[in-house]
């Protein structure tokens, strides 16, 4: 492994962060139109994505390495995270563009926060040291806390932001305590290298592993909060409902990508030698998430809360792949990539239907949408059917992939629980579709007029629909590529 100091190892983060700083300086100095924000943000995110592609080509497999004194890993795993999170941030900004523009001069801060969140998310995936992972986690989390309450117009947005901040700070403290205990047990926070955690655990017999196991448990709890896995999910429904509709999709999708990328590297690379200890715990978390998320989603009459509880269930499905260890990472990436696009598309439709700055999206707003805005209803139906796992959608291919990984690892009982939850989940997805197409508009207490769809939302929905159908019909090429996206 290469331990030299090179700025190319953090080039994606530098490009995006530099663009965010440039955006703020241009705004303060010249007070430009919103189109200038978009141009700078687009250039920065495109540069981050391009540099991630370069890392994928040049530093995958045997050419991977660690840099900055074993703090940053450059491998197929981190490169793929950048290839996902930076385009996702661009799509998130398109979805929220009307919201950003409506904030006037504060809109530049909104755009910069999305870019900094993307940089923090990629840093989490590329971290080769637990301390660096914590720094990336805080950059990412603090940006999302502010974005959640950015509009300042609704009390529920302020409440959601404060709740997210307080519970997130507690989860970060739990994670940091876990880092301290792992350091106490192994003498290092570095994942790789001669004196790293992985090397220490592979070559040392620990007769009293209590401190290490306690640290492992706290690390798992801290990351389970970030990905909204049950029972550490209580923040998600209120935050997703209270956050401005335009940015909720990016919040939901990026949190999954960053959290699971960090969790997968820590568990499979740093603590791979202790898989017998953490795999059963991950299986229990997965089962709890799919059951709790599905059952609570059934009882919701607000679409954003329904999608929030659905995200808890999907966290369980993604964890199902992780019980296979390194063998399930490619399947985890496929599910993450396709679900991120689907949830961004679904929240984009919710923002159009109920308002870019709105928090709540009651089911009454969706009644008759199939007649008022047929293409919008069709896009939402496709996203919901994909999340439900209907054949010929990417959601179905993702579920088959993660279920196969769990079966190969000997966790047939977990797959049975997940399949039963999938069947039960059809109820709440079809409930929204029935409201759009079959319910009588006169039954709704308040039905807005046909919603206007902005250009950004149109682009997001076209991309989401195309990806969902393409990878549902022919998932194998992408699956084969993603199975090369392994951590060092």
Q: Is the pLDDT of residue 125 over 50?
A: yes
Q: Is the pLDDT of residue 157 over 90?
A: no
Task: Give tens-digit pLDDT for 395-451.
Answer: 999 999 999 999 999 999 999 999 999 999 999 999 999 999 987 765 544 545 556
Task: Give tens-digit pLDDT for 6-21.
Answer: 888 899 999 999 999 9
Mean pLDDT of 41-52: 97
* Residue 442: per-residue pLDDT: 59
* Residue 1: per-residue pLDDT: 46
Percent of the chain with pLDDT over 90: 78
* Mean pLDDT value across the chain: 92
Q: Are the C-beta atoms of 154 and 58 separated by less than 8 Å?
A: no
Mean pLDDT of 123-148: 96
Q: Is the pLDDT of residue 359 over 80?
A: no
Task: Give tens-digit pLDDT for 169-213.
Answer: 999 999 999 999 999 999 999 999 778 999 999 888 888 899 999
List the domain boundaries for the chain.
7-482
Nearest alpha carbon to residue 328 among 269, 272, 268, 405: 405
């Amino acid at each position: 492994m290469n331990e030299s100091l090179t700025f190319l190892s953090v080039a994606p983060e530098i490009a995006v962060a530099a663009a965010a700083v440039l955006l703020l300086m241009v705004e303060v100095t010249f007070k430009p139109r919103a189109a200038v924000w978009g141009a700078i943000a687009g250039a920065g995110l495109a540069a981050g994505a391009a540099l991630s592609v370069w890392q994928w080509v040049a530093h995958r497999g045997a050419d991977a390495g660690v840099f900055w004194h074993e703090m940053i890993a450059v491998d197929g795993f981190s490169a793929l995270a950048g290839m996902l999170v930076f385009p996702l941030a661009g799509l998130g900004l398109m979805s929220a563009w009307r919201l950003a523009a409506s904030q006037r001069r504060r809109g530049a801060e909104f755009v910069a926060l999305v870019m900094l969140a993307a940089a923090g998310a990629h840093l989490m995936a590329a971290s080769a040291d637990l301390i660096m992972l914590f720094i990336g986690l805080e950059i990412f989390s603090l940006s999302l806390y502010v974005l959640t309450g950015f509009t300042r117009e609704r009390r529920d947005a302020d409440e959601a932001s404060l709740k997210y901040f307080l519970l997130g700070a507690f989860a970060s403290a739990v994670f940091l305590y876990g880092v301290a205990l792992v350091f106490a047990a192994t003498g290092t926070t570095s994942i790789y290298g001669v004196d790293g955690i992985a090397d220490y655990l592979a070559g040392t017999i620990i007769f009293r592993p209590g401190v290490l196991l306690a640290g492992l448990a706290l690390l798992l709890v801290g990351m389970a909060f970030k990905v909204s896995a049950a029972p550490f999910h209580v923040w998600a429904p209120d935050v997703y409902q209270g956050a401005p509709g335009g940015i909720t999709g990016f919040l939901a999708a990026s949190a999954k990508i960053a959290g699971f990328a960090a969790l997968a590297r820590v568990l499979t690379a740093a603590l791979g030698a202790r898989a017998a200890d953490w795999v059963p715990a991950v299986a229990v978390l997965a089962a709890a998430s799919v059951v709790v998320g599905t059952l609570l989603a059934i009882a919701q009459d607000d679409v954003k809360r329904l999608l929030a509880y659905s995200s808890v269930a999907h966290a369980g499905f993604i964890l199902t792949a992780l019980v296979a260890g390194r063998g399930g990472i490619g399947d985890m990436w496929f599910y993450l990539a396709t679900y991120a696009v689907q949830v961004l598309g679904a929240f984009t439709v919710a923002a159009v239907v109920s308002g870019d700055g709105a928090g709540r999206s009651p089911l009454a707003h969706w009644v008759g949408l199939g007649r008022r805005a047929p293409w919008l209803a069709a896009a939402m139906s496709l996203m919901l059917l994909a999340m439900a796992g209907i054949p010929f959608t990417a959601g179905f291919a993702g579920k088959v992939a993660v279920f196969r990984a769990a079966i190969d690892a000997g966790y047939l009982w977990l797959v049975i629980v997940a399949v039963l939850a999938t069947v039960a989940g059809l109820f709440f997805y079809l409930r929204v579709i029935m409201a759009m197409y079959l319910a009588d508009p006169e039954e709704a207490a308040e039905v807005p007029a046909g919603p206007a769809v902005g250009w950004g939302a149109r682009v997001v929905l076209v991309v989401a629909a195309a990806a969902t159908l393409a990878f549902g019909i022919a998932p194998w090429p992408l699956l084969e590529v993603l199975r090369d996206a392994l951590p060092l």
